[in-house]
Amino acid sequence: MIRCLIVDDEPLAIRVLQHLLTGVPDVEVVATCTRPLEAALVVRERDVDLLFLDIEMPGLSGLDFVRALADPPMVVFTTAHREHALEGFELDAVDYLLKPIGLPLLLRALDKVRQRIRPGPKPPTTGSIHVRADRRVVTLRTDDISWAQSMGDYVVLHGGKRPVTTRTTMADLAAELEPFGFLRIHRSTIVNPARVTSWSAGELTVEGRALPVGRSYRLSVLDRMKSVTR
């Protein structure tokens, strides 16, 4: 059972979220709070696995509330303000839901919570793909590929002894590599997370090369990289 605490200064928002959670069999709402200080007492005195936490609250923001907890539960931020998303993930939030919250995204967030509680099997890290290069078919081990970048009608795969250039689309290559854990960080770039030496919201460093993260990919990249380095 996932024991939840809902913290929001808007009673209507609490009622909506409670209603959505009512039909989820392995979730129990143990308490609701409209003030962070009240919520701190609940976290201290009761067994709470997950916070559904608003960010914009009077007195103490949801972000500062998490920072103030010595051992915070898992957190799903709920807010009407997209601009706080990156900061939320930097606090190791499980997910970030924009209001009004819909049931499909809520269920997806709960699946992420379950994965942290009971991690599923990891994708295979080693395999092979076949690409056409230099008028022949080349077999590449996936663990030898560090990153790939599209160049017009071609994609260049980096890693191994030398780059390999093949005529394909980034979408087709991503479909082949994503089952092996590869991560798309830009419409023109895929990386092997195992080869990332440093990362931030804006870029990943692979083999000494700083690769920019596209704005629309930032949340998924942060989410994935945190799970890789946890």
CATH of the domain at 68: 3.40.50.2300
- Whole-angstrom Cα distance, residue 157 to residue 137? 14
User: Are 29 and 98 contained in the same domain?
Assistant: yes
Q: Do 135 and 201 lie in a common domain?
A: yes
Q: How many domains does the chain have?
A: 2
Same domain, 7 and 108: yes
Give the residue among 86, 119, 117 at the shortest CA–CA distance from 4: 117
pTM: predicted TM-score of the whole model, two decimal places: 0.66
Cα 9–Cα 96–Cα 206 angle in degrees, nearest 5? 150
pLDDT confidence of residue 187? 93
d(CA 178, CA 161) in angstroms, rounded, equals: 22
If you ran DSSP here, which 8-state letter would residue 49 be given?
S
pLDDT tens digits along 114-149: 988 887 666 677 899 999 998 899 999 999 999 999
Residues of the chain with pLDDT under 50: none
Q: What pLDDT, on a 0 to 100 scale, did the predictor assign at position 222?
A: 82
Residue 122: what pLDDT?
65
Rounded to whole angstroms, the Cα distance separating 110 from 104 reads 10
Instruction: State the pLDDT at residue 77.
Output: 93
Q: Output the pLDDT for position 7.
A: 97
Predicted pLDDT at 201: 80
Q: Are 141 and 174 in contact (CB under 8 A)?
A: no
| Res 209: pLDDT | 94
Task: Note the pLDDT of residue 69.
Answer: 92
Amino acid at 58: P
What pLDDT, on the 0 to 100 scale, is given for residue 20? 94
Within this chain, do residues 99 and 150 fall inside the same structural domain, yes or no? no
With H, G, I as helix, E, B as strand and everything else as coil, classify residue 153: coil
List the CATH number of the domain containing 167: 2.40.50.1020
